[in-house]
Structure 1
């Protein structure tokens, strides 16, 4: 699998947790949520045909991280047409759109721009047949994570908020982030002066489509997703003939010991009550059966929730690799931490307050608040980079996109539900996009409303 395919999306496990969630608190914001939803839906009725066309265009032209030139230009043009001041090429292919509406808080709304190097197999009439050159090879691309839905509801949210600008005051900063799948786009935008060249947010919001029932919204207090770290370990041995292992220092044996031994970091060093995963996803060494190679290269992904466990896993990988090499009388291995991002953590009080707003607007049974005492999802998201760069309060929402009839049929047949990153993942566009717009507009009104 290409190195930047990873499950960073919120998956069905977080959704099922919500079914046992406690009753939602009443909204604290001075907002008539039901009336606001009526105004949002009236606007959506007017603009949805254009949003649908935009969605299908984006869906048919997925572009992978830092190659989203067509996508970025399309969104930039649309946001200028709406009335935003737009800057392109922030963090290579990122887009920043700003709209000022008097005194008030600065509110950031983020979407991702990138797709996946994957062939779509949904059979939809608007399925992607797009290709891009990736690592020198022409490769099919697919919006199998759902970022096409996110971009569409991002535009719809911007358009709706401007149509309702008498209902709120402040500054909107709409961010189109590249390369979320590579865990690099958020850092690239920040390094390019995102929070110095443009207004720094007081609040930030984002949402992700999930395999949950279309129209359902999950709001998680506290930890939403795991931290993610990619590590490459290279063992340096000494090659020899396969019949003369005593003349070698065998890096394959070192790698095999490492794969086994590194799991004791999980089983014997990590607190069993805390989440942590070490997975060796690639083991590359040698090219012939009768040659002991010089090197072995192993690629790992590490997942965790809290900072202490994250450090334990990273230190444990390094210590284990060096101990294995010492036992083999080999040179020290190279241990490279190639990329990583922290957990997404929602502000608990703001999450509860906005869950109340959504409950009032969308009705019973459509919104679940998952308390901080329950675990988050095990997938990862570099949205955390924005929050950790100094955004005081933030909420990351999960919006269901699956046809309930399909979910019922698959359950009766004992078949798995296609999830994010599956080539069969196909959210229902209209209910997902409408709910995404409702959720994000209501969130903005909840913090910046009159």
Structure 2
């Protein structure tokens, strides 16, 4: 009797929620899945989720103490918002049936399926990637963006911009049909976030005091290099879920071999990126700047994300070296253009995401699963041309669409805090609290 009452109660609750995805999960489960593959994808998703605090630590450490709560709040709410919106809308736009531009079905997962994995496992893996793309934007727009405005922009990114780009590629859209290859998201995730960060930063303008009257750059030093270093180590660790997890299977000799290659390539590129950035900044400025070394490692990770499954370990080292050099040059370029990126999000994610995607067409190998050999393996410019098309299309779409969004936000609720709020710190003004007790001293009359 008790079991019958409980069963009927659960049915009523399910009907009352009016979420078709909940019914679908019970009625449309795949008939047979591989347990090992499922557990591997979920474990990888957990590692990618752990990258969220990694981003939070990097951004918080590289910005000033008076804005620490604001940075943490944006990273925290990025994932919360991305989870809900990607479940209700984004996953359908990305993987639903529709046309070559956008999916038009599968909202709240209704009617969706994944032939190789339980649908909910597949959704969760994709959801943490969506959260990552949104979080990248936070660093470039740090220390002067209204919290409300930032949340609004995140909602658009996770609901529309990222899912549409994902549909073009991983969802079987027009870029996928051309043969575009981005294994784990150098362009789809990282460049998308990086280009949006660039647009947002340009709309905001530089932080107060960043540039002198004669145009020289000032260092607005972050308050905790140890915190930022911890964040980079967390991200490096999480990337072993980001890239190898994108194999989406672990059972069988071929998958085990692929995961091993991807893991080694990921690590080698990160290490090479850190070393190359250290050498580059040391030669140029006479000191091995640790923050550049850390961004060099991240640049290597971003750059190898697209080609990690189709290049050799030797090629991954070369890609990492070039990525580490590129991130240093990118920081210098932005400084000359007076584009204020507090944490280096644009050189790391936009520039190196584009470079890594192009690297597929240079070092990629057909023997490892690519449609065409890359330029250095006798394949000519065929694959490189396809990769370049994807880089340009995604960059243009991300920048133009979010420029419209930022323009609307700026003209309505406003995008940037007041000068007084910026000087005092966003923690007190936006959140009414401090990251560090008694950091600010107030006097009363």
Q: TM-score when scaled to structure 1?
A: 0.25
Answer with 1 or 2: which has the greater Rg: 1
**Going by fraction, where is strand more abundant, 1 or 2?**
1
| Bigger RCO (CA 8 Å, 6+ sep) | 1
**Going by fraction, where is helix more abundant, 1 or 2?**
2
